[in-house]
Structure 1
Amino acid sequence: MSSKTLLIDFPIEITHRIFNKLDIFSILKLRKVCHSLREAIYETAPKAIPFGVSLLVFDDSIITEIFEIDEPATLRIKYEEMDNGCWVTWSRDYNLSERQFQVVSDKNVMECCLEDLKLIMKHHRTGVLQSVWFQNSEGSQKSDCMEKLVASNVILHAKKVSFYSNSLKNILKYLPSLDANTLEKISVLGPSMSGDIDVTARILENLDFFSILTLRKVCRSLREFLDETKIKPNCEIMLKLNDNGVYMEFRTLGIQKFVRFEKYEDGCLLVWSDRKMKLFKNESFIEKFLKDYGIFLNHMDSLDSFIFAAYNDTKIDNLLPENASFKAKEVTFDQCSLLQIFHFLPFFDSKKLEKIKVLDFPQHQDGKLSKLSELEQWKSCKSVEFAGEDFIPDIRDFVGFKEVKIQCLEISTQKILALKEQFLKSSTLTRFEIQCTDDYFDVHQIREIFGPEDEWFFGNGEEVVHLVITELERIVFERLRLEEVPEGAVINFFVHTISVYNISIISLHSSLPAMSSLTLLIDFPAVVKSKVLEKLDVYSILKLRKVCYNLRQFIDESPTKFYSCPVKVRTFGDCISIIMDSPEIDIIVFRPDRNGCLMQWRTPNGVFKEVAEMANSMDVFLREFETIMKHRWRPVLESFIICLLKEERVLEELTRIGCVYTDEVVFDDCTVDQIAKFLPFFNSDELNKIRIELPYEDDEEEQVDDLLNLQEIKHLEQWKNSKCVKLKAWDFCVRVQDFLHFEQVDIDCKMMLVQNIVLLKENFLTSSTLTSFDILIDDNFNEKEQLHASFGFPSLPVDQGERKEKWFFRIPNNREVLSVTFNMKDRFNFRRIDIQDVPKDAVIK
């Protein structure tokens, strides 16, 4: 190295301090100097001198404006749609004579804009845009760019948003793409549109509760308008109470915030979740809480859930005024004593209340709930959950509900017998679950009374009560219809309180009278049922299998084929997932859980439920996987994704299938040895695409001769028969000879020698399979002179703005031509194109 020291040679701490003194334009220029500087800036992410960014979104274009706060300097980046790509224009200080252009292929306008915006905002001190402008052309009902923004699910962090000439429908559609926490101002501009009456109120109806509370602080007029209209967003509130303060937590979809009213010397300290604090002197925390709670009540008339959490010594007699009333479907009491529950429950509207939950019922409490049974809320509620470590229930306190779930210390056999009798007589009970914390109940005595099995059926005429003791020692009573009882089951029919007789379900069905006019799906002829099932998606079929035994048997014996729904499988560590592009179900995850399996069903909107089974996780996966694939028109997966994370046990167990039929296999962070081990697992006749992303090497030293060796997988039929391959091998040099039999190839690698580029061109001219071959080189490609010596001068003049070189080579005895493109980002694109698509002024070699 010469005595002249370069910027990149300084220690990283010094360069980082230098970078932080620069403006955004200097940082963007420095990124283009060399690969090392670009990496240093990417790793340190310096924050530039304060600057602003605005985004202008139009029907078919987007403009990003970057400007310094105290200077007139401005950089405008305009993104315009074009065929199979995006046209990007840069201009400085509105000087159109100094514009620069670039064509970005295979990306739409929104993708290009968001990618550049992410890079720019990485160097912004707050990461918040100054403003966003949405403009629709006159008479236009739909904007392609705005629709792509909504489809991208990206949330923009901006202080201000303006809608110009947008319909109310569009405003409501695009507004959720803005972060409510940073948004300070909303402007609706342009000519008014017929039918958009009371635009403000309609917009506010679609905001979450926290946005409404923020808007109340903007100005007095807006606060008065909000209080008068009393908009009711859906929100869940949780209260935690004790002698030192009140904790209020608010929850809406994807957002969770809180407010604390703390006792502080001679006043109240108010603390918000964003770490803001304010002290109110000469005002107790209870007084301040009740005053602010009145504001909350204006906007929370209809609640899904209300949670009280308290300690045993919390004094709550005067916490709420006597006339307070809440309309909630569900109320939860967490760590509340019987007296606290008795005091709080009357605050809830008995006509709206559907479920009561008591969690962590304190120890050493009286288990008799007779005081609660006197309340109208307890009598009218349909469902109850009650959990306490030393709680011993009295069955009579719960027989008035529809669904009951109890976690208790113990339950006697006499109480189980009494519950069975109550179930047979009750007109309300449909399900009753009991879980003993110490498994303290005499299961042997129950079997002596009812029989040796772990499930029993009791009849009272038209309906059947099903009693089961699960593998987790949970006692479950459930009311069934007669047709839901499995064939072969024995029902114990009680004619009087003393006499009892058994009858087989098969004999019972044969002796039943003719059915009523209400015909069930299972009663239709097989042809009709098959026609109905053919119209369903996979999620509906899976749900139907759980309706009753007969329907499940019909579906399994004559599996109908649902309309195509992409199905993928993914392994990740010790988990395996089934991914489905369905509006009802997004992914099913199977993971080992102690000696069993935890299965998670997740929906596209983020909701999921968990089911635990005492079985091997791979056995559970195979069972569900075979059921789903049995109902597909074509039993071939769209993709099989393997991410091992140094854990091969899941995939080794999966080889029990023998062979997997998939259109694509993805190896994510897998070594060549692992790929060679598991690639034969896939059927070579169905496999069309292979995607490989090799892990980064731990050795940080430069390895010039680190050539990727694919010898272990080249001989495999799966590699030979596949049509498409995509490889990311940033730490390796790659030989094109290993990929010449494919139709489509996409390679990202460390280096590609010019001899390989020339060899690829020669093979492309004679190949009967190759149609496209893309190469992206991570290191700088420094063999341009040798390339020009072999290829000759480009077939078209080089555009200085794009810095893209292009050659066209004639393919012998063919109307097609080989197009080779090399751009400034060290990307080669080889394409087979029709001779008519060659520009007229181009030279074909």
Structure 2
Amino acid sequence: MSNSLDFPDLVMKNIFQRLDMNSILTLRKVSHELRTFIDEENPDFRIEYLNVTVQKDVAYLRIQSDGGTSFMSLEYQKKEKFTIVICDKRERIVKLDYQEVLIKDLEILLRNQKSILEELGLSLENYFTGFKNIFTSQQIRAKYLKMSTTTSKVMEILPHLCPKTLQEVQLMNKNTASPHMELGELMKLGLWQNMKSFVTFGFCFNGSIRELSHFSFARVEIQSATSEDILFLKEKLILLSSFKEIRFKFMEFKEGGRLKELLGLPIFQDDMWQENNGNFVFLFVNLNLLPFLTIQLTLRKVNHRLRSFIDTEKLDYRIHNVIVTVTEDCIELVVDKKEPLSIEYRGKEQNTLVICNNRELTVNANFVETCIKDLKILVKNQKSMFEGLTISCPYGECSGQGIMNDFLDGFKNILTSREEKLKSRTLKMFVENQNQVMEVLQYLCPKSLQEVHLIDPQLSNHRMEIDEIIKLTHWRHLTYFAISGFYVNESIREFSHLLEAYIEIQSAAAEDVLYLKEKLITMRNFKEIRFKCHEFEGKHRLKEFFGPPIFESSELVRWEFFMQEENRQVTLRKVNHGLRTFIDEEKLDYKFHKLHLVVENEKAVLTLNSGREILMITYFRGDKKTCLVSKEGRDRPARTSYLKACCIDLDFLLKNQKSIFKSITVLFNCDVFPARSETRRGEKLLEKIAKRFLPDIANVLQSRDVPIKTEELTMKVMNQDQLMAVLPYLCPKTLTEFYVKRSQQRSQDLELDQVLNTNQWKRLTFFRVYGFHTTVSVDNFSNFVFSDISLETVKVDDLLYLKEELRKSKNVKDLSFSYKQFDDENRFNELFGAPNGGVTCDERMWKFDVPGENQNQKLRMRVGRRFYISFGMITEI
């Protein structure tokens, strides 16, 4: 009988080209012939991320390939005379030292790695010597090296990386007592001139900063520098088109007094420009990459050449929001809600008092003209789209309408002076009449404007004409329209293209409502239209048009209609065999928004919400082979267990789900009894039920051609295995939020080692755990925006790593960790310094600078005396 080895070599090579690393390693163990073939041919493993961590008595090897869909994690535990290797919860014993076992596995991986590594991560101690032999035998091709080690280890590894592929290097010193390193040693390497990014922590280099002038991004500590070095660097960087940011920290800065002679007067100077510890920090930044409006406005005031450059180049200010509030004697201008720039223009006789950032300036001009002049500078260089434009006045104020008209006339001149129409997604205006609206609306870009909200500041409920507004091209592009304090005389048919509207009209007829209903049921994204009529004609005909209402009272009559695109496939499948075949072959999308599954000892409840329709099915437990299925008040017996019946329906419903769920919830609920022993028995029974049920759920999810897509996952479980029956089979690209709750009443630890190795974990941004203590380390949360979790132990080195990663990401909102113990409290101040954000009886607080152009942005770390740590990004004013 022939076998695979009888295939020609060309066929075998083509087969191995289509296999991933795990499959190749598995085949290597099948037979001696296959092992020989693989070792001779060295098929490409296509590894993208390779991370090696060596600690005392334990080592870790983590591998990612195939676009993040394939992961492998190995742990090497040192025992007395052998090593335990753990992979996918399987253990094997090797009669070698743990470092030797790791080296052998690495040799196999690197020998078969032909493609370029996206990232090589190394965390090594001085006593680990085996790596040197691996790297001297071949050049490693990687784009990014991330290395945590000592000075001696750096020079053992770097020379053996391919200079043609290596672009970014990040070095972290594990031995802060020995930070010094010769820059000349690195410069001798062939890779030095090809590198684009160089970041170090804990190293101090002896050498000249001139040797770093080719980097696009760098953060380095140098022993010493001179003013001439700074000038040289400046001249080089302004010619480097790819330059982003370079930050240098000097232990000694010579001839600092010559900076002004060489560079000219600074645009800003602070007496505290030298750090408290005597070090000097210099930051070079490409201003074209800065999103800060305030910096460009400041630069215009430096000298005539900068003003001319900015006005000629017309750099995009990238403003998000503009809010103008007009009163009788003052105009307030607020720009960009995220980082607000607030300016007040107060009329003071014939002059204007301008107040900005607690500074006052008197201008010899009318306050409306002064505001318009500044607004023109802001608006004329705006190329990107406004999120919102608001022109308002206080409610109840009518005396300022003359000022409002003057402002609108000046703003109209600004809009008409632009080469392209101003883009804004929303427009909100406090107005008295249509003319004031037209002063702004018609000069905005119609393709970008989606929402308009018009408000009468007097709320006088008077009539406003909108006949000119609905003639504009803008009207047909709108999706949202609302008026407050007015009513209009137009037909409600004019509003039938809107997805959302809130209006008051003079009159309407039953035929108008019928027309509107027929239009709206064909609009897929329609939300709500609410209108109030002063006069309504043909009320008695509504039942004739729409049939009997589903609810009727003296104040309310209600009808419901199915959208024409609403999914009625579950019902249609039952009409006849032809429809069933058509639906199953076409696989029309069911478009469910939410899935909610609750499993208990006596029943299971499956709920699916499409946004307009809710499908709820309850499965009641019978004997081993029967159950009762209840749906929409109808009960039917089924000849299978209640869990099996639930899985069958779930498989059918999910098979045709193509769109993204907003949320998926899977809860294992345990009944609580007065007697603790009864509750424990219930928990044990539920755990057995979960063991039988979850493999079926996993099979349902695995059977799909494309993984289920959801933005949020919530699970109430007893252990990690239950999480792993669902999480790995969801699409990692859409899942951003994960919430874990505890089913049992008693407190319990939760292992998460398998969860951490999933691709889904690496893309999550929100994670919260209720009721469990977990054994994970804090350094696993560097990619998160929000977390709330209870940890067993916090290690100070892991916390330092997390802090540095969060500083770079700048996206963190609130990472909170409670913990039972801290591994080395004494080293805290050594690594983080003394608290610089305040100390109270309950907590200590640190603030750390973050990279980038916003000097006011800080990473805040709070450490509570009641065993909690939190991180958050703040902006200091």
TM-score normalised by L of structure 2: 0.37
